[in-house]
Chain A
Amino acid sequence: MNDEQLSALMDDQLPAGETRQAVDDLLAEPAARATWRRYHLLGDALRAHAELPATGTARSPSDNVVPFPRPERKSLPRTGLGLAAAAALAAVALIIAAPGPQQATAPQGLAMTAGGGQPTVTPPPTALSNERVAVSDLPRGAEPFAPISVTVSQTGMIKEDEAQKRMNTYLINFNEQRARQRTPGVHPYVRIVGYDTP
């Protein structure tokens, strides 16, 4: 009897007709008996090992669980977005219309220029700047109540479609950020204006 037959015999997987002969051979061959012993020892060792507690570094089964990615936050309802966009545009209009020292610091995207008291059209910046221009930064002699200019379209109006689209995107992003960081307050609306191109 070869060892493969012996292996199948100990698993009770030999065909019925072969089992009797295989048992006869097993009883007659000391080498086969020794192999029988080792093969069973092998199985006992495996089962004993399988019953040992796991030796991994995990302290509990949950330590091996890969966390799910955080669910994306739901975007604002469209009606809410519309209202927020309208409020933002109104606030931009107020900022633009308001002259005087309360504009001591120009919001991002606004440029302080000397000249008349009305907003004038200037070419839009090629890139957004985070710098703010304060009155104290103005050259000596410059009028403190200098008119401001805003980046608007060539027609003198903010491109509403584009601005609305950007505003919506920005509001969504902003609200997500604000909710995450629990930041109160409003966002710098002028970014939206700064994006507008002639």
Chain B
Amino acid sequence: MGDSMTDTELVARVQHGDKSAFDLLVLKYQHRIVKLVGRYVREPADALDVTQDAFLKAYRALPNFRGESAFYTWLYRIAINTAKNHLVAAARRPSDVDLGSNEDGEQFEIEDMQSTLETPERLLLTEEIRQTVIDAIGKLPDDLRTAIMLREVDGMSYEEIATVMDCPIGTVRSRIFRAREAVDLRLKPLLED
């Protein structure tokens, strides 16, 4: 992921008051944060609550974010701290804490965040979605499949992929896009509400 220019741009928009830019950051990182939180909070429903809480804290803290670290590093740190706090609170008070009625009374923000986050079913990546993606990837030509896997699974940059696949960076960009486009054709019908 690295120090993303895209993230920096989106963060800047949020800091200038564009909440929809934060939605895009949530869409980008929500599954990774759920997975991260899931290492601390075993109960899936609790993990989703903690994830939502972490994004809310990040949103509130974002005006003070100075970009001294990458956004995702900062977000991960918030998520881990939120998960740990949840565990401490749960040990202290076994009864559920209602995140929707916190002391700040920011019910509006909570609801807003809920509309951005995927539904719990989607957030946990249903088997249907995953299988659709895997099937579509399996039907791709080798060069497209290799490019998208190196990018998404191995996290390589286009430059690294170009070296590995011995082709120009422009070709890598095109292959990754064509792979996404092909999979998206299968994915889109599943996500249309």
Contacts and interface: CB of A to CB of B under 8 A. Distances in A.
Nearest to A13: B158
Interface string B41-64: 000000000000000000000000
B176 A36 contact: no
Given A7-B173, A7-B177, A41-B129, A19 B5 contact: yes
A33 B18 CA distance: 14
Contacts of B6: 9-10, 12, 14, 19, 23
Interface residues of A, number: 33
Given A27-B24, A41-B125, A43-B151, 7 more contacts: A7-B176, A12-B7, A13-B157, A13-B158, A42-B152, A42-B184, A50-B153
B110 interface: no
B183 to A, nearest CB: 5
A3 B149 contact: no
A46 B137 CA distance: 9
Interface residues of B, number: 43
Interface string A30-61: 00010111111111111111100000000000
Given A23-B6, A41-B191, A42-B187, A13 B134 contact: no
B87 to A, nearest CB: 23
- Determine the main DSSP class of A at the interface with B: helix
A14 B151 CA distance: 15
Given A23-B9, A42-B133, A48 B176 contact: no
B85 interface: no
